Structure formats: C-alpha cells, structure tokens
Amino acid sequence: MARDYTGRAHAVAAKRWRGLGGEIDLVMRNGLQVVFVEVKKSASFARAATRLSQKQMHRLVAAGSEFLANEPNGQLTEVRFDLALVNGQGQVQVIKNAFGAA
C-alpha cells in the first residue's frame, strides 16, 4: 500500500502507528501535509468501503490528533484522511479525503 503512495511523491512517516486513540494503518507525508490512510480489504471495492464504521472514523481522528501532537505545527498541520480499498484481486482504489473530522 505504501508503494502506491510513494509512487505519487508521498513519503512514509509511519506504518501501523499506534497511540492511545488507536492504530492508523499508514501515515504518509505529502510536502507539509500529513495523510492518514485507513486500509480496508474485501472481495470487492464496494464491500471494502462498507467496512469503515462511524466508530472507526472517530478512532482514526482521535489517533490522528495524537500523532499531530509531535508535529512541528501540531494541530495546525494540514491533514487528509484517505480510505484505501483493496479488492479480492489485490487491486487498490484510494478515496482521497474520504472523511474529515468525524
């Protein structure tokens, strides 16, 4: 998954970053922007998309906020939450900015 982002000029900041708020599958940097990526796998892209719950979105936002505490600009850092879907054939579809502050 990280390869998909690094191919688009993103740098890996962390994989499976864990904080008190929960785990973030992938944290990428796009210039000064931090991109939090949640990965969902299923037989189809549509089914994978349904696997992200409102509760998980809240957890990701909390964990992302915790991650930002160590950034130079803290909570003022530009962020994006992406959803990376993986289907049964291993193909990847990324939904950029899939959700904001949930």
Task: Answer whether residue 102 is part of any domain.
Answer: no
Which burial class, exposed, middle or buried, applies to 54 when counting CB atoms under 10 A from its CB (0-12, 13-18, 19+)?
Answer: exposed
Task: Answer whether residue 101 is part of any domain.
Answer: no
Task: Answer whether residue 10 is part of any domain.
Answer: yes
pLDDT at 102: 47
Count: domains in the chain: 1
The answer to whether 49 and 29 have CB atoms below 8 angstroms apart is no
Sequential pLDDT tens for the chain (102 residues): 677 766 667 899 999 999 998 999 999 999 999 999 999 999 999 999 999 999 999 999 999 999 999 999 999 999 999 999 999 999 999 999 998 654
pLDDT at 101: 53
pLDDT at 100: 65
Task: Answer whether residue 34 is part of any domain.
Answer: yes
The answer to whether 27 and 82 have CB atoms below 8 angstroms apart is no
Joined together, the tokens standing for residue 30 give 């796009």
Task: Answer whether residue 71 is part of any domain.
Answer: yes
**CATH code assigned at 9:** 3.40.1350.10
Joined together, the tokens standing for residue 78 give 């530009």
The parent domain of residue 28 ranges over: 2-95
Task: Answer whether residue 39 is part of any domain.
Answer: yes
What is the value of pTM for the model shown? 0.89
